[in-house]
Structure 1
Amino acid sequence: MNKILKVLLLLLAGVLIVLQGLALEAEGTVVGTITLILLALLYKRVTEDKSFYFQAFLVLFTIGHIFSCIGWYGPMIEDDGIDYYYYGANIMYIASYLMFILKIIKAIDFRSAYKELAIPIIVLLILDVFCVVIVSDTTKTSLSAYEYALEFIYNSVVMLLLSVALIDYLYRNDKKSMLFLIGSICIVFSEIIQLAYYYIIDDNYLGFVYSFFLVVAFIFFFLKSQVDYTGPQPVFLDVDDN
């Protein structure tokens, strides 16, 4: 059964990438939702030591996709109406990424990590602010004030996810943290390309690329969930990650 699920997930992931590349976003959202549900099922079946945070990430991200599905197939929003589906989906995505961030923050002794990584952390914070402002400004003329504020928060959380993943890798320097870092990098690439696709360049090729990076990110996140931490580098204090 598990092998069948894995094969089905790979097939659905391929279909999702093709649909997004053909600009069939409504159909792609449905396929993406089904894929997430099956991924959560696979995680539950194959993982002995289940992580609350990863399960919460999958649930919240799936709910976000469900909001997107309702947005495509539900009642039409009037031109001057509030797009609750847009807000609901993005809030769920933000909450899902926060689950990962909270898990890493819980596992790291930041006091000891900061002593060894003070300069990288400061540089990361500066780069985060710079990138969030630059990326968010691409949507400023296309969104309302509230939508722009939500987009700014969304981009901030995504960049924070990448920064925390990098700190986690420098702190632990093990396979699990490396998989998480690669997945986070793919998420950032996916989100930036998706913004370009929606607000700058209407090119179906970008739809293919951002969905590809999203699929790859989830593959690495799932692989990460199947690996145990080997602990921080010897120069850092050990912190229980249970």
Structure 2
Amino acid sequence: MFINRLVKVVLLLLGGVFVLLQGFAFEVEGSAVGAISLVLLAILYCIWTKNKTKFFFWFLVTFMVAQLLSYAAYYAPEVDEIKVDYYYYGANILYIISYLFLITRIVTELKFKAVFKELAIPIVVLIVLDVFCVTLVTDTAQRALSVYEYSLEFVYNAVIMVLLSVALINYMYRNDNKSILFLIGSICIVFSEIIQLAYYYILEDKNLGFIYSFFLVVAFIFFYIQSQLQFTGPEPTYYDEQLEA
């Protein structure tokens, strides 16, 4: 129990250090701290979580490998514009895969017939909003990206928007503590990724480094907390309970 608490304290401290390093543009050091934090988080999850799920585990592992690859990229030879940056594409593809594991984790627990029956209109609205938001957000960095980079960023942004939509549908269907924590974590991930896109390709504002890294740390805190809980199934809303009373 003491080691468990010690690891959690160390992770919180490393999260704070990560935010500071990213905020002050020490990106190499920040990337290293982020990789170490993810290794510790994966160990914490594997050893001290009673009800582990393979999809969340692979999310942590894949994200950790992507972070390590991003860190290694700082020490790789500089890539010319005409050459392929394998570190860039490899890391981003791994990030996409990690988010797909999270999406799969939620989707496999949903009853599709019941979900579509109850939430057909919200699902259609979310699909329309996702297409609009992904196109709008990705187009803001179009001038700074090649065709292949733009395509990768488009897929990347599409996946995180799908993650947010699935998290929202999951919460609307289940209405329990685990689903709201997952939704908050997903919202923080979306904010972090959008702000990070602006930080690297649009605005040269160091404050954005603090903001996107803070949202990323908060997202993983909520993801870890929800991983310790179990879904309780669809719950009646407060309004429904009042009507029944």
TM class by shorter chain equals over 0.9
State TM-score, norm by structure 1: 0.95
Moved more, 52-61 or 103-112: 103-112
SS of equivalent to 1:73: coil
- Cα distance between partner residues in 2 of 1:80 and 1:224: 44
Contact 1:171 1:232 in 2 (8 A): yes
The alignment partner of 2:142 has SS state of coil
Query: Using the alignment, how far apart are the partners of 2:142 and 2:16 within structure 1?
Result: 33
Instruction: Give how far 1:44 is off.
Output: 1.3
Could you say what secondary structure the match of 1:107 adopts? coil
Does the CA contact (< 8 Å) of 2:175 and 2:236 recur in 1?
Answer: no
Aligned equivalent of 1:38: 40
2:4–2:48 contact (8 Å) kept in structure 1 = yes
CA contact (8 A) 1:113 1:171 kept: yes
1:151 Cα deviation (Å)?
A: 0.3
Q: What code does the residue aligned with 1:192 have?
A: I
Q: Name the stretch that deviates more: 191-200 or 77-86.
A: 77-86
Aligned to 2:148: 146
- What is the aligned residue count? 235
Contact 1:2 1:45 in 2 (8 A): no
Distance 2:51 2:120 in 1: 33
- 2:139 maps to amino acid: D
CA contact (8 A) 1:136 1:152 kept: yes
Aligned partner of 1:240 in structure 2 is: none
- Tell me the secondary structure at the aligned position of residue 91 of structure 2: helix
Structure-1 separation of matches of 2:37 and 2:235? 36
Aligned residue in 1 for 2:30: 28
Assess if the C-alpha contact under 8 Å between 1:177 and 1:224 holds in 2. Answer: yes
User: How far apart in 1 are the matches of 2:181 and 2:200?
Assistant: 28
- CA distance in structure 2 between the aligned counterparts of 1:198 and 1:66, rounded to whole angstroms: 19
226-235 or 106-115, which moves further after superposition? 226-235
Q: CA RMSD in A?
A: 1.1
Give the structure 1 partner of residue 181 of structure 2.
179
Give the deviation of 1:234 after TM superposition.
6.4
Name the residue aligned to 1:230.
232
Tell me if the contact between 1:179 and 1:224 (Cα under 8 Å) persists in the aligned partners: yes
What SS does structure 2 have at the residue aligned with 1:141? helix
Give the corresponding residue for 1:206: 208
How far the C-alpha of 1:139 sits from its partner, in A, is: 1.4
Name the CA distance, whole Å, in 1 between partners of 2:8 and 2:109. 29
- Give CA-to-partner distance per residue, 1:101-157, whole Å, 9 cap, x none: 111111111221111111111110010000000000011111110110000000000
- State the distance in 2 between where 1:80 and 1:145 align: 12
- For structure 1, the 5+ residue unaligned runs are 236-242
What is the match of residue 122 of structure 2? 120
Q: CA deviation at 1:79?
A: 3.4
